[in-house]
Structure 1
């Protein structure tokens, strides 16, 4: 009955998170530090992102416990995370002045606010012609991203930072590939924890993400467009999630590991969302540099739309209900 559906939804809404705020903060720190490396950051960028994201998400969780407005929470958490990152690097700068040159690290520290599930599932809803749900989710995503980037721009303006990107690390290609595998796994594991997934699901998603994001970054290293690389990574993530479901269904893995594909694919491709592009777009917009702002906005948009398209194509290939309009 309708009443039973409402009772079930209330039960889900009131269910306590699986993880304490301190553990969620740690997972956020690990995820964003890994994200910083995958964006091209070095050791100091990772340290700054670790500290900022850990503190920022911990504050975010504590504020959510008091049922505060989501947009206010997002702005405050991003501002605190960015300031914590910048402050930690300036403190390190007293001992090693080169830490002061890492002016883009604060962007890595605030990527925990990216609303991955509504962003990706909104695109999938559009692919299924479920426009009311898709538009609702995408509008929510846009509002959260707007508040997060606005907070990041505010902090950057106050402390007079200009995020120019990360300088090349100059690592050996094989070492770089191994480090990407490790950090992609850690990043996807961390984001899975933020999505309140059980630990076994976090690990499976982490393995998928390690393979797909390393593939994406390797493709961009060979000069392939970021949009095509993002599509390919998302497509492979969808195919691997379907393959994992088939392995469980045929008894090659325990049945309790048969997680929903959406729970495995979204964390594994959220790490592909071009957060750096979005924050740079808002930074230039705040400086009234319109052309660079539009440039980075469209770069971000093209990559973002390729992610749900890749997942949708994977579902069309592996799922009859997606292949036909019935």
Structure 2
């Protein structure tokens, strides 16, 4: 069964509490009446972008951002706009991405899980950037003057992706965000560096005998086993590392699976994504090995279960670090 990371809980109507927040908030976004050029960036507003296959108009340059999930942090940092983040949410206890150019440790977390409309509006940010809404709706936020911008590689939470997310899609998403915040110069420099690093990794990847692999994870200690399908960045990572995703045929990014399907596929390598709720690799591995039947897996018998931070297998610049981890770990397995 294909599923998203958690069950969506939609709020059909904006509540009176939210209206009260909007009327009382002094820092909410304002709407521009005509197209204007920002003197610092030269960007023209209103600006229309593509957001999960639909046109989305940004009325004026956003000065403040609420993020949902860690991918938004990394993408905004690469886009040169992380200094506008005023509140964070949806990180579920995961650590901050390593190597950010802006220290976000002191930025308040208004909700460690999926924020409600009331909490989003209470952050008084101009825009939301993240993996999507599960306790609110675009319509509710729009009614308060807040715009929801979804990370391109996370659009499958609300609608089917029109294509697979690869590294080119990540670079394009950085550039898309930079166009919103007028930070194109910084983004261009960062994307050039990321592309150079990716080229080096592609050259380092060994062209040995292809092996089958699966990327699996647990969203929480109580959740069932999940895997990465053929439309997410994890699939591109495996391919670049010389591995074939046993779930590649699944037209999804995230899918709910079980040990039985994993046993049927019996991949030579298991990439175990960890850290989604703050757990370390050993904790995640113990949870996997506690499942009945996993001792029969070829990857388990051959000690070919490798750990990669889940945040390094997400549709953001940290996926380059994930690719490096997979390449280095599989090279060690073959020694």
- Both proteins in one fold, TM over 0.5: no
Structure in which a larger fraction of residues adopt strand: 2
The normalised TM-score by structure 1 is 0.28
The normalised TM-score by structure 2 is 0.27
Structure in which a larger fraction of residues adopt helix: 1
Bigger Cα Rg? 2
